[in-house]
Amino acid sequence: MTRPLHSTESPMNLAALFEQARALPVVPKVLRELLNSFNNSALRTDELAQLITSDPAICMRLLRLANSARYHTPQGVGSAYEAVQLLGLVNVRSLVISVGLMSCFTNLPAQMLQPFWQHSLRTAALARHWSAHAEVDGELAYTLGLLHCVGQLVMRQGLASQMLALDAKTDPAAPTRTAVERAALGYSYAEVGAELARRWQFPTLFSEVIGATDALPDNAQAATLAALIQLCAWQAWVTEQPLNSEQVDALWPHELAQRVGVASQHGGSHFGDWAELCDDLQDLLTQS
């Protein structure tokens, strides 16, 4: 039997959680439109630049990234249009989605956000890396990897003391975390994230994939993407654990890996260096 939380508060149901003003941040318009642009393969450079320019805060942060040492620009990048030309439409869309999501939760403590976004960015980078094996769009996989545990941030804003109590029991990124949250609260970050995606009016595919933890969706595309994201989240978590190669291999999620065509020798302790894999994504963690 699961022990009660070290809090005198009663568990809050999902509807009540979202009724709290602080739990549901306002999604930037540019973020919603960029996520919906996955249904529009004809998005043009000027359209993307115009979207970015419409949000000064996100535009400023993108320009800061474009002018960082990472990109070695001989001349300064002064506009969103120049940034898209320099970095490419696909890369800029991914960066802006990342920046947009991070801007929604800046009221949470940095010591909480840093490990959360590190895990999310690593999951996203892995999803993009393995997307060819799963035969899915790499940027879509990246975005879903970034969003896969966003429900935790909503819960941390609305259920701060309960989440801290759960942190003392289980690593927030551990594969068992959803079960621990459901036992204590009646729902997990997966259900919260799926509901957030619906309330933010993201494509239906997003809520299907984000909400899938115990079982894969019936929709074939959503099922493959959910399996990929779960595998990548597992990899991002396990590489930070004090486990030897034999222990890691023993924990390998065979069914998920088989679904997306990734062999066990490609994962776990055999995986490559994070700095090389994440590359420019890591810069997002240090840009203010």
What's the rounded Cα separation, in Å, for the pair 58 and 99?
A: 7
pLDDT band at 7 (very low <50, low <70, confident <90, very high): very low
Tens of pLDDT, residues 9-39: 556 888 888 887 566 788 888 888 888 877 6
Q: Judging by beta carbons within 10 Å of its beta carbon (0-12, 13-18, 19+), is residue 184 exposed, middle or buried?
A: buried
Mention every residue, 6+ apart, whose C-beta is less than 8 A from residue 31. 58, 96, 97, 100, 101, 104
What pLDDT is attached to residue 166?
A: 97
Domain residue ranges in the chain:
22-104, 108-288
Average pLDDT value for residue range 80-95: 85
In order, the DSSP letters of 81-118 are HHHHHHH-HHHHHHHHHHHHHHHTTTTS-HHHHHHHHH
Q: Which residue has the higher pLDDT, 6 or 32?
A: 32
DSSP 8-state code for residue 203? -
Q: Which CATH architecture has domain 108-288?
A: Orthogonal Bundle (1.10)
**Helix, strand, or coil here: 165?**
helix
* Average pLDDT taken over every residue of the chain: 84
- For 177-188, write each residue's pLDDT tens digit: 999 999 999 999
Over residues 89-105, the pLDDT tens digits come to: 888 888 888 888 888 88
pLDDT for 2 beyond 80: no
Q: Average pLDDT in the 54-66 region?
A: 86
